[in-house]
Structure 1
């Protein structure tokens, strides 16, 4: 399942893209543990270990999808039925869901934003690890992720929160070209005197 050895690690990372077109199998056993361990290698100011991963797979998916739809109803009572059914279908049928729990410590000297960024960095590590092991995933979120009843199902009582979910499986199509911006538009060298400017900003205004 892993990327071909003839491809350099950097080339493999540059080939990653998010995809929701996922089929079985999803990672299991030691492979799953290794992939999630990559999340624990993210920067973590203060060594607070804020990562909490909840894996939902197999027969647990339809039951959890019911909790997601109920959360959508509470958080977005005007949400159309089509949106609710899309959530139900994705959380019922995707081979694996990984909840991205954030175990936060608001009283700590490390700002909450930095604790949240550690979780986000961990999530990106997991997405990269999935790709390198031959799997795929997409990060989804929304107002339903703020629902306290849903969070309680995931062991995330206040003040702990949820950064969203990774939908995980094997990409239905292996060639997943994605249009990416040019790095030259998003980087600059400071010359020691004047503020930098980015070409990407010029193109958006």
Structure 2
């Protein structure tokens, strides 16, 4: 039990740090904050591997690390809490679907597997997106000449959140399907092999 807890904490810390590192190498960076990157993938991976607790903690640490390394754009403490506390922690809610994703993978139900991976990432991404939209309306309205700040904030945040979510869903879905051991423990891997058709047996 102690070894499992230690492994959990180590993996959470490492993957939160990896998410922060990936944020330094964006595919595309927005002029007023936000970027299309692979940074959400480590958070979602831990959420699927360890469930809700792991996902929430990894997301929270990712937000904290953003502030520590100077990646955060902070106007007020409340804005920082919303955009780097709530928003990044919300990504971990993808862990709600962890058991369903694992079971569909074990049962070789490809359609269900990809559906729930996508739904999980959509949930986490949508909640992060909502937090950024609200923060944009409340704290950044004075920095834009937009007539409708809600539409501006929705469009601005969607421009990087939607591509990042799609990249995360496609990347993790493919990765887990090809390497199920990434999210399955030893017992689950045994069940996966037992349920496999002869042509799907893994080494």
* TM-score of the two chains, using structure 1 as the length reference: 0.29
| Max Rg structure | 1
Structure number with the bigger relative contact order (C-alpha 8 A, sep ≥ 6) is 1
* TM-score of the two chains, using structure 2 as the length reference: 0.29
